[in-house]
Amino acid sequence: MQLAFSPCESENSQSAENHYQFLLFVLELFGKSIENVVALEGDNRSANKAFAIRVGCGFVGCASHRYNLAMKDILQEEQIVIQKVRELIRDYMTQVELEDIDDLLLTPRQDKAIDRVKLRIADLDPITKAFQLDSATIADRRAYFDEVIAEYPV
């Protein structure tokens, strides 16, 4: 059985011990004990690692979380251009005056940068969708992540 739950509601209760107590509560609802827990998966926050140690089981870092961090790094170099496009869309949506549109247009260099971003996104889109498949195992997700790292080392 795989069990997933969201973080504790209170911002003050994000400690490993509070997560542990909440897990015990949830396991009891399902008639299970802490001995039934094989591994925990989560982002690499120290509280999650401490939580796994407290439970006495393995910890698997979340490949999807690491993938999102890698995507952020990959697209960082184009961040200025991405922001310019956001502003262009926002201003267009708020009915900017036609004479002001020249100030919003991308330079040829920025236009090429947008083309690079679009190619990267198109290249990575199938992997992003594969991460979200219910049938994808932890091993599958790790393989997808390794594929991205090989193509886009950060």
Domain residue ranges in the chain = 11-61, 63-151
* Longest alpha-carbon distance in the chain: 69
Asked whether 51 and 130 are in contact (CB, 8 A), the reply is: no
Cα–Cα distance for residue pair 144/19, rounded to 1 Å = 29
Render each residue's pLDDT in the chain as its tens digit; 154 residues: 566 666 556 556 677 888 888 888 888 888 988 888 888 777 767 777 888 888 888 877 776 677 777 777 777 777 777 787 777 777 666 665 655 666 666 778 877 887 888 887 788 788 778 877 778 887 887 788 788 778 776 5
